[in-house]
Structure 1
């Protein structure tokens, strides 16, 4: 589930927000409609000879999800694009949180086992600092 949500998040965080930023800047500066920016960016993003077919469907690669998400990001509001990115990040975090809850007992045991080494390092560091302070005096 984490891998699936990570893929969804990578499209939403990367392509949608970049497409939205580019189309928004061009619209605000040069009054270019966002749908024109969408078409130009999508054509430039295609690495296939059949650019128009690549925008909608590439028979060798299946549906071109990357281009579809890019197109969606160019024409939507920034609020919608950021909301999609936030939802994708939250979905990616859910499997992590579940696994942390399941493994919390093992993690606590490992921390307790390692705590003595941390205490020893802290004691050694403090004694070194005290030695250094005494040498300076």
Structure 2
């Protein structure tokens, strides 16, 4: 049996729907967009609080999922978590103007605060690198 071009089902009742799906017109809602290949959650004030998309992993070239969770506003004190390929990014502020950022990858952890400094733990070199932006001092601890 077949419906109107974008809706079809088979004899066992398996349903196939093509096109954008919105759970509702306004308020908190979920949007599935096959053109963008994404699933998004939009808050009642039209802010994207969650997205799941495809991306290409720069290290391997593989297509991987990208998941982004935001605290609900695009303000300087908002929080974002992004899971991308083999890394997790946590940051405060907007993407263009981050105030803090923590990156966790398969061999490295890095914590950075704007104007203050950075601490980097590197498993490949078994080292810890610290830079204080206020004093300009850098220190590396290695075996």
Kindly indicate whether structure 1 or structure 2 has the higher relative contact order, using CA contacts under 8 Å at least 6 residues apart.
1
**Same structural fold, with TM-score higher than 0.5 when normalized by the shorter chain:** no
TM-score, normalised relative to structure 1: 0.24
TM-score, L = length of structure 2: 0.23
Bigger Rg over Cα: 1
Structure ranking higher in helix proportion: 1
Structure with the bigger percentage of strand: 2
